[in-house]
Amino acid sequence: MARLTVGQKVHRTVQLILGLKLPRVAAMLAAYGFSQEDLDEGWALLRAVTGERLSVTPIPAPPDPALLDVLDGWENKWLEIAEATLRRNFADVRDEVFLNLSRTSGRDVVISVDTFVTRVEALENGTQRHKEARALLEKRGLTQATIQEAKDLLAKLGTITPLELPKLDPVKAKEAEDALWAWYLEWSAIARSAIHDPRLLRALGFLRTTSKGGVDAEDENEDDGDGDGDDDDGAVDDVAPVTPV
């Protein structure tokens, strides 16, 4: 079976958690013991995998597609420039900045840019090597003014960025990934058994619209057994967005 990357697992877990917050879903799963404690556990496991606090303030309406497009353009340009620059000149710093991070699309771009900006700014307060890497990025055009452009867009989209630079620890990362995926498999199985409304299943990430307009079920068991889900450089693979309700 196809192997799921860490990024795909995180993407599906985020979709599941957001779906579990819906009042109708939470009410239906309450009969199976689902509570705020279980939801909090999912968020905690997710933070353990990403190494970040993914805090987003509630907003009264979906993100402005125009703002997302502008932010996506910023991400496509500056993540590519930064990755190429650091890969050649500061490979170790590149691994820290791009840990579990790659270019995304749709609403996921908010998380990727938020994380990238915070990590780049954190370089200024790091080791001498971190500071040299930051100086080179600024020379390439990733100045504070350029960073501020992204932060202004994030502010308009309603995000908070209290992030810290993660430490690269493969063993702990694997343990966190396994714990997150075990939580996902348990609650996704319970939700699939308890809920049959297609709209709610789609909100939970279990259904996706095909290119021909049909609907396919997501298979969370797509894995080759080793569960590492990493490619050769540790970046998160892009994942096709699930159609929202």
Query: Is residue 107 within 8 Å of residue 75, measured between CB atoms?
Result: no
Going along 150-228, which residue ranges are E strands?
207-209, 215-217
Residue pLDDT tens, the chain, 245 long: 467 888 889 889 989 999 998 999 999 999 999 999 999 999 999 888 876 444 444 444 455 678 888 988 999 999 999 999 999 999 999 999 998 887 777 777 888 898 999 999 999 999 999 999 999 999 999 999 999 999 998 888 764 444 444 455 678 888 889 999 999 999 999 999 999 999 999 999 997 655 554 445 555 554 434 444 443 333 333 333 333 33
The SS3 call for residue 59 is coil
How many other C-beta atoms are found inside a 10 Å radius of the C-beta of residue 45?
21
- Which residues lie below 8 Å from residue 208, measured CB to CB, with a gap of 6+? 202, 215, 216, 218, 240, 242, 243
